Amino acid sequence: MSMDAVLFWFLSIVVIGAGLSVVLMSNPIYSALSLVMTMVGVAALFATLNAYFLAGVQLIVYTGAVMVLFVMVLMLFDLKRELQAFSRGKITGFFKIAGVGVLAGLLVGVITFTTQKTSLIAEGSPLAADIAAQAASGADNTKILSENLFLKNILGFELLGVLLLVIAIGVVALSRSKGGTHARD
């Protein structure tokens, strides 16, 4: 078994286990810590897919910024007394779990039955040779990504900046208004 395969199976076990514990832990602090573990695992998966820049961004944005935000809000609340972590109702709960199971089965079934080839590109084509050369270098990936981002998708990039500005102002306005969405006084 190659190193790639060992790494993939280890990371997938980590990611699935941590993801399950996000959902199953009744204490939200443990859920947040499991989510950090999931994010780190996903970042490592990006690294196995040669997306090194995205792995770094994933670590900085998710495990750095977003999770700090989550944990800070969790600490703001007094969450020792969580009476009911899961939704009540055995029958609706059964239907929910059954629906999720059916969705998982459908997705996995469709994926495994439709795409039999491991790569969507034919073996002998010139593109395949390019891919082999690219996989050998690996570090070029960031350069290709930045060229695509700043040459082809520059409008989307700028619009994201505008969106982030709007979101920042909106969040400040939302948290400064007295009583938030339910102004009483």
Partner 1 sequence: MLETSMFSEIGLNHYLVLSALLFTIGMAGILLRRNLIVVLMSIELMLNAVNISFVAFSKYNMNSEGQVMVFFVMTIAAAEAAVGLAIIVSIFKRFKEVNIRFFEHLKG
Residues 121-180, interacting with partner 1 (CB under 8 A): 121, 127, 130-131, 134, 141, 144-145, 147-149, 152-153, 156, 160, 163-164, 167-168, 170-171, 174-175, 177, 179-180
User: Rule CB under 8 A: which of 31-70 touch partner 1?
Assistant: 31-32, 35, 38-39, 42, 45-46, 49-51, 53-54, 57-58, 61-62, 65-66, 69-70
**Residues touching partner 1, count (CB under 8 A):** 91
User: Rule CB under 8 A: which of 95-114 touch partner 1?
Assistant: 96-97, 99-101, 103-104, 107-108, 111-112
Contact 10, 40 (CB under 8 A): no
Q: Report d(CA 53, CA 145) in Å as an integer.
A: 9
Q: Among candidates 116, 2, 4, which has minimal Cα distance to 50?
A: 4
C-beta of 40: minimal distance to partner 1 in Å? Answer: 11
- Range 131-163 burial, b when 16+ CB lie within 10 A, else e: eeeeeeeeeebeeeeeeeeeeeeeeeeeeeeee
Q: Report d(CA 13, CA 19) in Å as an integer.
A: 10
With CB under 8 A as the contact rule, the residue among 37, 56, 59, 74 that binds partner 1 is 74
Looking at beta carbons only, is 136 or 182 nearer to partner 1?
A: 182
C-beta of 9: minimal distance to partner 1 in Å? Answer: 8
C-beta of 110: minimal distance to partner 1 in Å? Answer: 9
Q: Which two tokens stand for residue 126?
A: 């010139």
C-beta of 44: minimal distance to partner 1 in Å? Answer: 11
Q: Residue 184 interacts with partner 1 (CB under 8 A)?
A: yes
Count of C-beta atoms within a 10 Å radius of residue 38: 21
C-beta of 155: minimal distance to partner 1 in Å? Answer: 12
Q: Report d(CA 43, CA 11) in Å as an integer.
A: 10
Q: Report d(CA 29, CA 41) in Å as an integer.
A: 19
C-beta of 175: minimal distance to partner 1 in Å? Answer: 5
Q: Among candidates 66, 15, 9, which has minimal Cα distance to 38?
A: 15
Q: Which two tokens stand for residue 145?
A: 């990504």
